[in-house]
Amino acid sequence: MDAPKTPLACVILTAGFGKRMKSARPKVMHEIAGQPMIKWLLRSVEELAPEKIIVVTAPDAVSVAQTVKPHMTVVQQKPLGTGDAVRAALPALAGFTGDVLVLLGDMPLLSAGMMQGLIETRRHGPDTGMAVLGVEFKNPPAYGRLVMNPDRTLNRIVEDKDATPEERAIKLCNTGAFCIDGARLADWVGKIGNTNAQGEYYITDLPGIAAKEGIKTRVCILYDADEVTGVNSRADLAVAETVVQKRLRKKALENGATLIDPDTVYFSWDTKLGRDVVVGPNVVFGPGVVVGDDVTIHAFSHIEGARIDNDCVVGPFARLRPGTHLWQKVRVGNFVEVKNSLLHDGVKANHLAYIGDAEIGAGTNYSCGAITANYDGFDKHKTVIGENVMVGSNVTLVAPVTLGNGAYIAAGSTVTKDVSADALVVERAETKQLEGWAARNRKKKNAK
């Protein structure tokens, strides 16, 4: 018979001020690949299916509480250290005796697999009350060092600023991730003191507290330092973005996309590419993009909140904004912007055009310089264009307006009324030609 499964809860600490970010926004709300960093961590934690996820926030972190829903939030009233932050979560853990995973919200790239390894290390045996996630660096940054016992259990955690030269030479560093016996957690947290220079309560004191009771702390060693990339400054955020983009590019290549110059393509966390998609250099995908099979996206295109079906060609220098849906075999060319619009099969808008709040029927040609005038200063209005319509160059379609199937709109026309099927619209001022005017004007100018 299988052993009963040990319940799991997770406490994520997000209440730090993040002063080095120099931002009014909570640190964990800064985005990596289009998603707040707290969401990156939550997605990994959710893979473990814990019974509870508790996020500890600062008092005014309303945006964090909204973002982590439906998970519970508790408030750390004053920033008195990581130990105090865990104490704020204890009422929400009342009666819980399983394992408690404690994570830092500003360490967003830790994988579910590594979390599981930390949990399994805690479950090493009845003499193990806690596990700490450690990482080895060739040249350690200013992280706390893990001082080990001869039996490879943890003796203590020494902060870099408090370490002796011998301790600072240790390569194994603390990441701030812990897995703790929930039955003992409240008692141990209650014993954390604040006799330090900062007058704060630190979770790093727990291994020493457990050792006094004869309870061992073991270390789960991580060898991929990218997973514990900490974000405490804008520079750190840029490093995390680089790590994530490398992962997303690798995933795209492995799933059958061709990236002409991978290092210049930027993905969002949720970008979906079909098979045999070709992406040119300097393409940026914002959130909410789904691309079908056999699509080509040329260089310098920017796409967000858009769906592109099979066999389409986009760009170069195209912009697809939220609400755009290109059906099959659509062509959207250079310097074309599309927003909140549906382009049916085979539509062509090859250059220098704007399509906003519109629906364009199959086979329609939307020529250079054509625009939908969709905004009247107060409200947005819709343009509906039928199938196989010819919209000539420099046409202005003043919405709301409908063009029937097969209509032909002559170049330079401004259309303010609905057009019937197969009709020709020519809306131009009468051409006037004054013979010899240019020569007379030049003569007048030269005489002055």
- Reported as a single tens digit per residue, the pLDDT across 130-184 is 999 999 988 888 889 999 999 999 999 988 888 889 999 999 999 999 999 999 9
Residue 437 lies in a domain: no
Please tell me the pTM assigned to this model: 0.90
Sign for the CA dihedral angle at 367, 369, 375, 376 comes to: negative
Q: Round to whole Å and give the CA distance between 394 and 354.
A: 11
340 lies in the same domain as 408: yes
Answer yes or no: are the C-beta atoms of 302 and 266 closer than 8 Å.
no
Type and span of the H or E element at 447? helix 437-447
Residues 262 and 395 placed together within one structural domain of the fold:
yes
Cβ-contact 412, 396 below 8 angstroms: no
Alpha-carbon separation of residue 337 from 98, 368, 370, 389 (angstroms) = 54, 12, 11, 19
Closest to 13 (Cα-Cα) out of 204, 173, 192, 156 = 204
Residues 135 and 34 in one domain: yes
- Spatial distance between the Cα atoms of 401 and 417, rounded to a whole number of angstroms: 6
Percent of the chain with pLDDT over 90: 86
Last residue of a domain, one of 188, 213, 228: 228
Question: So what's the pLDDT on residue 223?
Answer: 85
Q: Do residues 63 and 25 touch, judged by C-beta distance below 8 A?
A: yes
Predicted confidence band of residue 6 (pLDDT cuts 50, 70, 90): confident
My answer on whether 204 and 333 are in the same domain is: no
If DSSP codes are grouped into helix, strand and coil, which group holds residue 349?
strand
Both 161 and 52 in one domain: the answer is yes
Q: Are both 167 and 282 inside the same structural domain?
A: no
Q: Name the residue with higher pLDDT: 351 or 198.
A: 351
Average pLDDT over residues 11-29: 90
Q: Is residue 250 part of a domain?
A: no
Establish if 66 belongs to a structural domain.
yes
Look at residue 1 and tell me whether its pLDDT is greater than 50: no
What CA–CA distance (Å, rounded) separates 413 from 416?
10
Domain count, the chain: 2
Domain annotation covers residue 239: no
Specify if 398 maps to a domain.
yes
Q: Is the pLDDT of residue 243 over 90?
A: yes
Q: Is 351 a catalytic residue?
A: yes
Does some domain include residue 445?
no
Mean predicted confidence (pLDDT) in 18-35: 92
Tell me if 80 is assigned to some domain. yes
Residue 214 neighbours by CB under 8 Å, 6+ apart: 127
Pairing verdict, β 414-415 and 401-403? unpaired
Paired tokens of 3? 């052993």
Domain that holds residue 212: 8-228
User: Residue 188 in contact with residue 210, Cβ under 8 Å?
Assistant: yes
Which is catalytic among the residues 30, 298, 344, 351?
A: 351
Q: Which residues contact 209 (CB under 8 A, 6 or more apart)?
A: 188, 191, 192
The domain that holds 302 is classified in CATH as 2.160.10.10
Angle at alpha carbon of residue 154, lines to 200 and 195, rounded to 5°:
20
- 212 and 342 fall within a common domain: no
The answer as to whether 241 is a domain residue is no
195 and 261 both lie in a single domain: no
**280 pLDDT higher than 70:** yes
pLDDT, tens digit, 9 for 90 and up, residues 318-354:
999 999 999 999 999 999 999 999 999 999 999 999 9
Domain CATH code at residue 169 = 3.90.550.10
Of the candidates 246, 245, 302, 252, the one whose C-alpha atom is nearest the C-alpha of residue 268 is 245
pLDDT tens digits, 284-309: 999 999 999 999 999 999 999 999 99
Are residue 195 and residue 334 in the same domain, yes or no? no
Half-sphere exposure of 420 (CA within 13 A, CB side): 1
Judge whether 413 and 397 are in contact, CB under 8 Å: no
Whether residue 370 sits in one domain with residue 273: yes
Residues 101 and 204 grouped into a single domain: yes
Are 221 and 365 part of one and the same domain? no
* Boundary (domain end) residue, out of 177, 207, 228: 228
